[in-house]
Amino acid sequence: MAVGDKQKEVTLNGFLEFLFGIKASTWTEGGHWSAQWVGLPGGDWRLLLILGILVLIGGGWWLYKRDAQQVPFIRRCLLYTIRISIVLLVIAMLLEPILVLSKEEKIPSHLLVLLDNSLSMSLKDAWKDEDKANKVSRNLGMSADTTALRQMNRMQLAQKLVNESFLKKLSADGARTVHLHSFSDKFNPEALLLSEEWQPGGTGTAIASSLRQALLSYSGMPLSGVLIVSDGQSTAGEAPEEVLQMLSDEGVPLVTVGVGTTDGPRNVAITQLEASPVVFVQDPNQITVHIESRGMQAESATLVIEQRRNGGPWQEFIREDIVLNLEGALQPKTYEFSETKTGKLEFRAKIVDAGPEISQDDNLASAEVRVIRQRLNVLFIAGSTFPEVQFLRNTFLRDRQINLSSWLMAADKTYEHPGDLPIRRLPVTQEEMNDYDCVILYDPDPTQWPINFPELLTSFVTKAGGGLVYIAGEMQTASMFDRQSDPSLSWLNLLPVIREPGLFRSQVQIRLSARSPWKLDVTDPGFQDPIFTFSTDRQANEQILDNLPGMFWHFPVTKAKPGATVLAVHADPRMRNEYGQEVLIASQRVGPGWSIFIGFDSTYRWRYLDEQFFDGFWARVVDRAGRSKQLGGNYPFRLSTPQATYQPGSQAKIIARFLDDSQMEPGLQRLYGDVERGDDQPIPLTLAPGNKPGEFSTTFPVTQPGTYFVRVWLGDEAAGATVKAATLPIKVEFPNKELENPTLDEAFLQTMAVSTGGRVYDLAESDGIVNAFQIKQVSRLLEERQEIWDAPLFYILIFCLLVTEWILRKWCRLI
């Protein structure tokens, strides 16, 4: 087109735009124009409008015919036409005419890609189907070796799929605009970036609700489809029917990609390798492996335990084929071991031959044990000199398993107190007291102790796990028990016996007991206790006990405390009370510590039978009392639960299992404890013997979520207020639906996709995913609406018609 012609066209278009009072946009070029009447009524009102116009047309003609008969017919028609035109122009302006400038164009459609980033996407699948695993591995661009596939969680696999190349294919060379978002319990409006590592973590999955929120965020945009990448576990939000119907009505296909496997995660883990950190040479000890499995019930695996000594090479200790338990249940495996030399012993346990798992990092656990000689630090305090004192002191000095510190309270200040660890005063701090493993008191005079010594002694036993051995004597013991309500003598409560106020012996009883020696009557629990094991042969041991020389004097007590073990009573049938024969030797756990009461002071007479009987008895007493302290002051039992966690409203079970039966009192019938949560009042517990020897258990309700702290102690029910307790936290939490059934829910994804005309794919079908969307560019009708009822054209026409009518009427002499 010539420049002059183009200028003429531009001038003409400008003139027309002026006449109609419009300003056309540049995008309307190449489009078309149409007129619409905004004020045009519909229905019956439109019919009335047409009738009204017809009446005006007919009425106007009738008036001109009647009033202008002298005017020639042609002039009359011309005047009539001008008047009717003016009326019609006014009616047209009242009907609000508009010009619609429209143009159709092609634009990219929008494709939503929604990625599930809930907690279940952090799981690793086992991929038991090797063929399927190979296909997925190849399709995601990984090596033919499926090891890397099994080491990646679902989110990482999804990120492998939804890469830059995949999104480019979805965009169809710009024919679609792809929007990538994540969702869990709600839709995340911020776009996901390929340059960042995607992290799962949402506590719930609301697929339908998130889909609705995504559609609302992109409302008004032409959608070519929605792609959801998920494992199909929808644990929250609304039902999908309504939002799927919305997609179906709008013709938007929903395509789903299932991430994971229908088998779900398989995993076996060693949650803990339990062993005492310190053990004695030649002692029988235990090591316990706690195993937890998921999705592997009744399947087999191999447990291998290895050990090494002092950093040497690893050697196989145990190899056992095991059958895995129910999901969520802890499976303990306990094995015995004993060491003949001191040093460092390391154990490591691992699960092998378990098949595909989500992770093998948790198949290994280790523990370290320090093996020490049984050399105990003993503090021997004697209130006065007596043959028992001299022989005991010499015995302890000879024993290479004991480091002795002795203190004779009746000695003068210049006296050198003998011992392996000589002292010049009694302990005055808790640190000094806790350097000892066992304290032996022979008929002491508490008035000569440091003022804080009773508190140090109590804490030593009840908190640090130390041992206390009390030997009754004729000078101080009776007066102390008569004043046992004195706060300075509160440490007497540590002893396993009760002497009620007012208990006394008549002179006749004293003379009877002193006339001839009386032997011990060892009880059945006493025969089972190691301190009375003079021989490994039971018959020979009983013979030794029968032949032990007896005692002339003893200190009478009322009875043993509840929970205490009576090891020996007086053999004289006259030495009895309403509770039975008078107690001579009793023992009891006091918290983690041990208390032993010996109600006579003539064990030295046993030397007349054999010196080894006296020495061996006291070596075993010291070992019995001080072993717990030497091993760290811990209880000889371990607390555990059959499950890692519990749900509110269920019954939790607590188990106390003794690691060494010799550390359990033969007469022990129950353990006491309590459980508390937050600021709630503690609930008392009583643990009764279980089905296995050395095991006590009980159950209690857990009604609220949170952490419950269980405390269990040895001693009577009231001891929990003063002694250190063994503790165990128990987690109670609502079930995590994300992990409750963490398999791929392919059926749910299939239902969602099919109802909208889409389909479900897996990770091995990326090309099929791209081809599932048919809509690319979509047509868009652009419209611009401009009012022309007040256009200059109308006013010009009306003005011109009015002027013309006036001139004609002048000409026809009508005015």
3-state secondary structure 530-550: HHHCCCCCHHHHHHHHHHCCC
Q: How many degrees, rounded to 5, is the angle at CA 551 between CA 408 and CA 577?
A: 110
Q: pLDDT digits over 491-525, tens only?
A: 999 999 999 876 655 444 555 555 678 888 999 98
Decide if pLDDT at 91 tops 50: yes
CA distance 765 to 746: 15
Are 246 and 140 within 8 A, CB to CB? no
Domain 266-373 has CATH 3.30.1360.200: no
Q: pLDDT digits over 100-120, tens only?
A: 777 777 888 899 999 999 888
Does the reported pTM lie above 0.75? Answer: no
CA distance 195 to 776: 26
Q: pLDDT digits over 380-401, tens only?
A: 999 998 999 999 999 999 988 8
Mean pLDDT of 135-139: 88
- Of 59-68, 188-197, 703-712, 766-775, the least confident: 59-68
Q: pLDDT digits over 223-261, tens only?
A: 989 999 998 888 888 888 998 898 888 888 999 999 988
Separation in Å, CA 545 to CA 516, 533, 568, 570: 18, 9, 11, 13
- Of 75-89, 478-492, 746-760, the least confident: 75-89
Q: Sort residue 108 into left (φ over 0), alpha (ψ -120 to 50) or beta.
A: beta
CA-based R_g, the chain, Å = 49
Quote the pLDDT of residue 181: 93
Decide if pLDDT at 3 tops 50: no
* 376-501+513-630: CATH class: alpha beta
Mean pLDDT of 191-208: 85
What architecture (CATH level 2) is domain 636-741? Sandwich (2.60)
Q: Which class for 600: exposed (0-12), middle (13-18), buried (19 or more C-beta within 10 A)?
A: buried
Decide if pLDDT at 783 tops 50: yes
Q: Percent of the chain beyond pLDDT 90? A: 27
- Considering the chain, what is the average pLDDT of its residues? 84
Q: pLDDT digits over 352-369, tens only?
A: 888 777 667 778 888 888
Mean pLDDT of 775-795: 76
Separation in Å, CA 655 to CA 118, 163, 724: 36, 51, 18
Decide if pLDDT at 567 tops 70: yes
Quote the pLDDT of residue 180: 93
Quote the pLDDT of residue 365: 86
What residues pair up with 118 in beta bridges, in sequence order?
202
Quote the pLDDT of residue 502: 64
Decide if pLDDT at 739 tops 50: yes
**Start-end of CATH 2.60.40.1930 domains in the chain:** 636-741
**Start-end of CATH 3.40.50.880 domains in the chain:** 376-501+513-630
Question: 671-695 as b/e, with b when 16 or more CB fall inside 10 Å?
Answer: bbbbbebeeeeeeebebeeeeeebe
CA distance 232 to 755: 15
Mean pLDDT of 335-345: 83
Mean pLDDT of 327-338: 80
Q: pLDDT digits over 747-777, tens only?
A: 888 888 888 888 899 888 877 888 888 888 8
Quote the pLDDT of residue 793: 77
Q: pLDDT digits over 64-76, tens only?
A: 777 777 777 777 7
Decide if pLDDT at 12 tops 60: no
Q: Percent of the chain beyond pLDDT 70? A: 91
Quote the pLDDT of residue 401: 85
Q: How many CB atoms lie within 10 A of CB 762?
A: 22
- Of 416-420, 482-486, 738-742, the least confident: 738-742
CA distance 438 to 464: 11
Residue 329 carries which DSSP code?
B
**721 vs 448, which has greater pLDDT?**
448
Quote the pLDDT of residue 498: 92
Quote the pLDDT of residue 327: 63
At the topology level of CATH, where does 105-264+742-779 sit?
A: Rossmann fold (3.40.50)
**Start-end of CATH 3.40.50.410 domains in the chain:** 105-264+742-779
CA distance 245 to 252: 10
CA distance 377 to 412: 24
